[in-house]
Structure 1
């Protein structure tokens, strides 16, 4: 896909570039390939954790859950004696409602962004969360308290006070596109593109950066650390892709997004799954999803015999989508 300098394209150009639109994603991908009966396993992060345990897929440690307002006053009973923690809605979406605490001192809590908040602020957050402020459909929810993930050292220069995550789009078990989301000061230390995090397209074969965007605009260096994004490289990339591809076998969802992280001590972990992954990954990669969906459909139509296992599916995807450098890609401009 050619990077367009003005970022404005016509509908016909988008079609030529193979960009998948929202309506087509909803109809041709989600409705067509995701059984409604499988949605709860990914919409509820608690169920996802239990399912991952059955498939021996590592996830961040669960410290506790809070379901009722009366339980909020005792939330500190679930906190680790040392270190930080994360509070998130069990049925949240888009990164909303996630509170990352790096350190606790008395009744003060240090957020990933460097801001100190009070115990009362944490309690208000829990109350809003349980009331359904951040959940899908606004229904009452449960608060999950997890152990804090410590980012791998190789990412230290590419993120601001937060843990980067890796989004992989999986189509019938084949990884078709990936990006890394890097937190910034603007995103409050969260790897959330809508709040100002960076989206870095990742080459499926090499695990290296292709191009990067922030707020849909090309960037070359991290705005807070000054690190050159072209130098970003993900170790254990093959294993991470196989982990993501295995989520298809776990859920039965034909089109999903797998969000992974790399902990400094525990290694690769499954953070969560998404049955309705967003489309900004196309901007981060400078490539459209439609040609890749069609390529997998053609490959599957030619299969004979038993279904391919996750390791084989990863290799097939890497062969089909070997890197095609964008002619004016932000990370490849001289």
Structure 2
């Protein structure tokens, strides 16, 4: 990946860490509201109160002496997800897709015993995966079922959609696709593919893995040029509604498409990363300027989503298709 000077990046409208931290996070996100999104249980409760669909909560574990109750909690379920309540970046998430007698199987097919899961849960409780390393709580959720539209675009996991929302307006989006390298997790740092998504249509614009352009999924070899995210209007509206739900002026909404239940929110982030600009090959700064120029925020999330669709739609008459640019080993 080519490195550019800070001056050149600014000329492209790229927002850096300092500008994000002081110009967006500090300006729009009161610190007393952080717990609403840093704590996934609180986020889930807020979403349910707002009528937003979230994965079903199967159980929680708060203390080390409760670890022995895991067998009873997990017994009715053949599929589930274990998460740290205050984790970040996908750390500590354990996905189980099959339970057969005394064995629990991960999406990769690797088997675990109950003792392995108990050890994993104990590590979460001790703060191994939490923000600041503080003691944490474990939440156990139902497993999201893969929407068939993503069958050829994801490997051993569920893709998610990250939408950046400023003052209640969606301004940029990307799809994070799981890969063998990412161990079935939608984590770009671990090798997931980031696909920039056109706010106006839900269509794929450009894809990257490890910061390098790619045109096909590395495992399935499916080309991204045919990829369009369904239920796009609904996804934008859900993301926009997170402004009223949390009071945060700058946030990242992580959503998924469940085969049976459709769009749902899985997580919110008060400090969303900036890799979304690489996936879209465009900077956030011009879009931030548009939203900051709005004097009166529209109170209706649906109207705000519609505004963003019009304002930030990718113009193919001005910009050439980007998915054709790639490394030779991705042809």
Question: TM class, shorter-chain normalised?
Answer: over 0.9
Q: Is residue 261 of structure 1 aligned with residue 218 of structure 2?
A: no
Q: Per-residue deviation at 1:116?
A: 1.4
Q: Per-residue deviation at 1:332?
A: 6.6
Q: Is residue 99 of structure 1 aligned with residue 94 of structure 2?
A: yes
Q: Which secondary structure state, in structure 1, belongs to the residue aligned with residue 60 of structure 2?
A: strand
Aligned position for 2:270: 275
- Among candidates 304, 310, 315, match of residue 324 of structure 1: 315
CA shift digits 1:145-169 (9 cap, x unpaired): 0000011011000000100000000
- Report matched runs for 1:1-334 at 5 Å: 7-79=2-74, 81-298=76-293, 300-301=294-295, 303=296, 307-325=298-316, 326-327=319-320, 329-331=322-324
Q: Distance in 1 between the 2:282 and 2:302 partners?
A: 24
In the superposition, relative to structure 1, how do residues 331 and 176 fare at CA in structure 2: closer, same or farther (>3 Å)?
Answer: farther
What 5-or-longer segments of structure 1 have no aligned partner? 1-5
Q: Distance in 2 between the 1:329 and 1:115 partners?
A: 37
Q: Distance in 2 between the 1:38 and 1:331 partners?
A: 42
Q: Distance in 2 between the 1:88 and 1:50 partners?
A: 16
Instruction: Give the TM-score taking structure 1 as reference length.
Output: 0.94
Taking only aligned residues, the RMSD between alpha carbons, in angstroms, comes to 1.5
CA contact (8 A) 2:197 2:203 kept: yes
CA contact (8 A) 2:298 2:304 kept: no
Q: Distance in 1 between the 2:71 and 2:203 partners?
A: 40
**Count of matched residue pairs:** 325
CA shift digits 1:190-237 (9 cap, x unpaired): 111111000000001110100000011101100111111111111110
Q: Distance in 1 between the 2:303 and 2:279 partners?
A: 26
Instruction: Give the TM-score taking structure 2 as reference length.
Output: 0.95
Q: Which secondary structure state, in structure 1, belongs to the residue aligned with residue 152 of structure 2?
A: helix
CA contact (8 A) 2:67 2:122 kept: yes
Higher mean C-alpha displacement, 312-321 vs 132-141: 312-321
CA shift digits 1:113-134 (9 cap, x unpaired): 2211222211111010000010
Q: Per-residue deviation at 1:328?
A: 6.7
